[in-house]
Chains A and B, each alone.
Chain A
Amino acid sequence: MNARSSLAVRMARVDKAFGPVLATKSASLEVQLGEIHALVGENGAGKSTLMRILGGLIAPDAGRVEVFGREVTGWTTRAAIQAGVGVVHQHFMLVRPLTVAENVVLGQEPKRFGLFDKAAARRAVAELIERTGLRVPVDRPVSELSVGGAQRVEILKTLYRGAKLLVLDEPTAVLSPVEVRELWGVLRSLQSGGATVVLITHKLDEVMEISSRVTVMRRGETIVSIATRETSPTELARAMVGRAVALASQQRQAEPVKQKGSALEVRDLLVAGARRARAVDSVSLTVAPGEILGVAGVEGNGQTELVEAIAGLRPASFGSIRLGGREVATFSVRERIAAGFSHIPEDRQRRGLVLDYSVAENLVLGLQERFCRHGILDRRAIAERARRLVAEFDIRPADAQAPARALSGGNQQKVVIAREMGRDFQVLLAAQPTRGVDVGAIEFIHGRLREARAAGKTILLVSADLNEVLALSDRIAVMYGGRLVALLPRAEATVEILGAQMTGAGRKEAA
């Protein structure tokens, strides 16, 4: 009874399925009152699902959820807020033209004579800011705040609603190092004020620094829960991955086939992002024919912007991009494709495919020019190409007229790969090429990338999967905070070194 009553959260044997996929499998989580608890795991390990269940956004299929000693399984968002659970989502839920005070009180506005009491709202929010140290200007529209400021408003929103249990989903993904320090300060002061914090993160240095206890999730299951001081980043990393069998694609890398010269050369590239002025900050790199340069890094550190800028989908503010010595920075997307670029985009459902187009049509996306005569689509050539590629890349079902939407994730990705690699190209930009696909498809795609390398193609591989980067690359770069913080030959790269660099821990070691 005693142990029970000191728990803020107790989730036991929680199952949740989306269609045929089990997002959580008998997952359990116990969070002590007043602790900062880190929840770590790979992509799709089930962390967010578990937290959405906790926040009342979705109901579990089986299992039991208790919050502050009360059984609340399957409760609603509203009930969760009333019970003092505050969730800070990864994507901010703020109304940009409204002021900080208005955003904080929205939905629970103080009233006076039936009117919205603006003064009382400002007072309440100012007091809250005073008490917590979450410094933001009360009367400023949210649109004028930095990302860090916006995040502080999100935390204020939950506290205004009386949150005693705060769930933060990847809070540092978008913050600068200074803002991260400030966040830790705030969380510690909230903790000393009696609040409980659950922190979802990928960055193990953060786990070590801020949390008192850590739970590791893998494939929907909670693997281990341990006091932070009794563990190490290496041990946690092993628990997160924990694969018993090495993937076939992780065999020894083939002998180098790298040729002299450079096919892709990027100099001093500066790219503005949606949330950061310097999403890519003075990046220079060269990739030779027959070489795979792997870019590792935690997502959100500028990889997306880097690839999109090279592909022509995002304007570069400064810098040069050369393909075989030819400057292409001013080229349109179409011109870059014609010049020899291929691009496997990281988000196949948004960028890589028109989901309502057939497989055959998707196989010519970006190559329309080559498959039409006098502006009229050459349907026979399109069908012919589809027939060839569907067979060659083993796209299932082998029905080129089916819409891309109807295919599984792995087969959708094969359509993209087939289109981008089933033609003549010089440079391949491969962003997260195996994300969300099954093991069989991963092996197939890795095999294709190796073949292209052997054929003398130039490949820039960007992946959040360190195994993948290690398995395929000749050289490995690490991106952190928009910069390339490390660049080393494959032989010198180890998980420990790369992991440290990409989680920001490498800086201290280097210093």
Chain B
Amino acid sequence: MLRFTGLANQDRRRRLEEALLPTLVALLVALVCGELLILAHGESPAEVYRELLQGTWGNAYGLGQVLFKATTLTFTGLAVGLGLRAGLFNIGAESQLAAGGFAAALTGLALPSGTPALAAIPVCLLAAILGGGLVGAVPGVLKAKFGAHEVIVTIMLNFVVLAALNWVVVAHLHVPESVHTPEIHAGGLAKLSRIFPSFHGSAANLSLVVALLTVIGTAFVLFRTRFGFDLRAVGLQPDAAEYGGVRPSRIYLLALTFSGALAGLGGINSVLGYHGYYEDGFAGGAGFLGIAVALVGRNDPFGIALAALFFATLSQGGLAIHALVPRQMMEVLQAIVIIAVAASVPEVRRILRLARRPRPTIDRSSTASTAADGPAGPQEPGVNVSAGHGGSR
């Protein structure tokens, strides 16, 4: 039994490898693709990358913009990640984000202009949570009650919700000659530049703090509470969770609702923190990019925050390098990163497992892989019809 010592450590290392390696492989692929694209333009990759870093992390304004973009992506990434922890794919973050922002704006507009910020902000945040949660609850109910495919429902719902919001704003709430609501009187979040003047001009605001708290809160719920225990169990093994007294359909409903709420809360970044009003189309793809953020962040709240910074850097970096190469190159690069990560996860994992296997067995067909699980795999049902040695003597 000695060989088992340090099993937990061994396993932790293994998991870390499986989590990080595909991402590293993908980043390498993206880096090479980026270099090729830059070379095709006749520019020097080193110079472009230097420019990219300089324009993002190299100055306070750039950094502020990165933080601003990362804030929204953190929320949508957390939304997708939470769903995936429960084994569900929420690709409705885009409309949930918009609905949250809209609800926050509506609440801010409804509050009397003299409302103190300390009262107005929590109310607006709550409205954002409810707005996103409501949109998330729809696929949740349909999944729990009818078993409807949440992927399809959330895709379709995106269009329904965005069209509905567009209608309300354009038909009833907009400021003439624009597609946004009037300015909110109460509940605005201060820009970071109020505290750190060097961020002047950038959109970064106190939503960043809310995002950080949400990251910590989500991690706490996922890993330290009974609800998180139940949710992850359903995502990993629904049958075992059910055996442990958890009703999977209840978790499906709650997980999708909370997922929507997380995305909805992200709406405050643009609405309360930057513009001060709801503008049609402000989500601008951040919901979809949240899928990539969750993927690269491996569904871990802190990983998601880092991945959000990474994607925000790419997107802000596009602007920084526009003098040298078209900024659209960064959009291409983002897509390549996602494809590379998605494609390398199963493959790298397979190679890692192969490398670890003590003695390779010869697989003749695909079905052989189940056999290769050996005695730990599904067992042959049957009976031990036995003679003799029982108590009959």
Contacts and interface: CB of A to CB of B under 8 A. Distances in A.
Please determine whether chains A and B interact with each other in the same assembly. yes
A380 interface: no
Contacts of A202: 382-383, 385
B368 A57 contact: yes
B146 interface: no
A435 B375 CA distance: 11
A298 B364 contact: no
A59 B372 CA distance: 11
Contacts of B391: 250, 252-253, 470-471, 490
A352 B237 CA distance: 10
A10 interface: no
Contacts of A61: 361-362
A332 B247 contact: yes
B196 interface: no
A490 to B, nearest CB: 7
A195 B388 CA distance: 37
A222 to B, nearest CB: 16
Contacts of B4: 396-397, 399
A495 B392 contact: yes
Interface in B225-245: 225-227, 229-230, 232-233, 236-237, 239-245
B371 interface: yes
Interface string A239-278: 0110100110010110000000000000000000000000
Given A76-B364, A297-B383, A436-B379, A467 B389 contact: yes
A74 B227 CA distance: 50
B233 A234 contact: no
A20 to B, nearest CB: 8
Interface stretch (B5-13, B43-51, B339-347): B5-13
Given A47-B380, A350-B239, A250 B225 contact: no
Interface string B338-372: 00000000000000000000110111110110011
A42 interface: yes
Contacts of B8: 358, 399, 401-403, 406
Residue of B371, B380, B392 with highest tally of chain A CB at under 10 A: B380
Contact of A349 (B7, B376, B392): B376
B384 A19 contact: no
Contact of B245 (A44, A52, A333): A333
B388 A361 contact: no
B149 interface: no
B384 to A, nearest CB: 4
Contact of A243 (B365, B379, B389): B389
A23 B382 CA distance: 16
Contact of B383 (A75, A298, A353): A298
Contact of A23 (B367, B374, B392): B374
B33 to A, nearest CB: 33
Contacts of A361: 229
Contacts of A71: none
A332 B237 CA distance: 19
A122 to B, nearest CB: 29
B364 A241 contact: no
Contacts of A56: 364-365
A365 B240 contact: yes
Interface residues of B, number: 55
A240 B385 contact: yes
A377 B225 contact: yes
A247 B374 CA distance: 25
A398 B224 CA distance: 23
Interface string A473-504: 00000000000000000100011000100110
Given A18-B372, A59-B364, A376-B224, A354 B383 contact: no
B42 interface: no
B177 interface: no
Given A170-B381, A494-B392, A357 B236 contact: yes
B119 interface: no
Contacts of B243: 311, 313, 333, 343, 345, 351-352, 365-366
A365 B247 CA distance: 13
B387 interface: yes
A466 interface: yes
Nearest to B234: A354
A104 interface: no
Contact of A19 (B359, B367, B387): B359
B364 A77 contact: yes
Interface residues of A, number: 91
Interface string B74-91: 000000000000000000
A371 B309 CA distance: 37
A389 B364 CA distance: 43
Residue of A299, A402, A435 with highest tally of chain B CB at under 10 A: A402
A19 B374 contact: yes
B197 interface: no
A198 interface: no
A454 interface: no
Given A238-B388, A466-B385, A495-B390, A58 B244 contact: no
A54 interface: no
Contacts of A300: 381
Nearest to A500: B385
A337 interface: yes
B1 interface: yes
B384 A74 contact: no
Contacts of A107: none
B7 to A, nearest CB: 4
A369 B226 contact: yes
B384 A467 contact: yes
A204 B241 contact: no
A49 interface: yes
Interface string B1-26: 10011011011000000000000000
A464 interface: yes
Interface in A380-402: 396-397, 399, 401-402
Contact of B233 (A58, A250, A357): A357
A333 B230 CA distance: 14
B31 to A, nearest CB: 32
B245 A402 contact: no
Contact of B386 (A77, A366, A466): A466
* A-B residue pairs, 5 tightest by C-beta: A18-B374, A334-B245, A470-B390, A299-B381, A397-B4
26 contacts: A57-B364, A75-B364, A170-B381, A241-B385, A297-B383, A298-B383, A299-B383, A313-B243, A332-B245, A334-B245, A345-B243, A351-B243, A353-B240, A357-B236, A365-B243, A368-B230, A372-B226, A376-B224, A377-B226, A436-B375, A436-B379, A466-B384, A470-B390, A470-B392, A495-B387, A495-B390
Interface of B: 1, 4-5, 7-8, 10-11, 224-227, 229-230, 232-233, 236-237, 239-247, 358-359, 361-365, 367-368, 371-376, 379-392
Given A61-B361, A76-B364, 5 more contacts: A43-B380, A57-B368, A170-B381, A399-B4, A503-B383
Interface of A: 17-19, 21, 23, 42-44, 47-49, 52, 56-59, 61, 74-77, 170, 173, 202, 204, 234, 237-238, 240-241, 243, 246-247, 250, 252-253, 297-300, 311, 313, 332-334, 337, 343, 345, 349-358, 361, 365-366, 368-369, 372, 375-377, 379, 396-397, 399, 401-403, 405-406, 409, 435-436, 464-467, 470-471, 490, 494-495, 499, 502-503
